Amino acid sequence: MMGLETLIAVNNDIARQAARRRLKPYVPSGAKEVDGWRNLPFEFPNIGYLEPKGWEKVESWFVDKYGHGLESEPAMTHRRLKQVLRDYIETNPDHGFAVVEEGEFQVVVAAFKPVEKK
């Protein structure tokens, strides 16, 4: 099992790599696109602790990394995440998604809204 210091180091490294690759949250074409996703949560870029320029994190979900969890567990199953994202995208079509934290067995998926340019 990974310790807290290891998890922080891993996510900081992911953020550095994401910054180098200029990764941004993924914006789906619509709620129906969710139905075709087979590799959740890895449909989204993994940006770790990166705060992508032009985006603001507005919501996040704790998700089972491999999709084998139970509905009664604290981490969402992939099936439940798909339901949540379908509803979310319906009301927030311009928002994007990314993995913002990765652990040994779970990830955190976040929704980002575009920040208006001043």
Where do the structural domains in the chain lie, given as residue ranges?
Answer: 4-114
What is the tens place of the pLDDT at every residue in 75-90? 999 889 999 999 999 9
Q: How far apart are CA 58 and CA 94, in angstroms?
A: 12
Q: How much helix, strand and coil, in percent to the nearest 5, is found in the chain?
A: 30, 25, 45
Residue, of 43 and 115, whose pLDDT is higher: 115
Residue 118 has a pLDDT of 60
Residue 66 has a pLDDT of 82
What is the tens place of the pLDDT at every residue in 37-55? 887 777 899 999 999 999 9
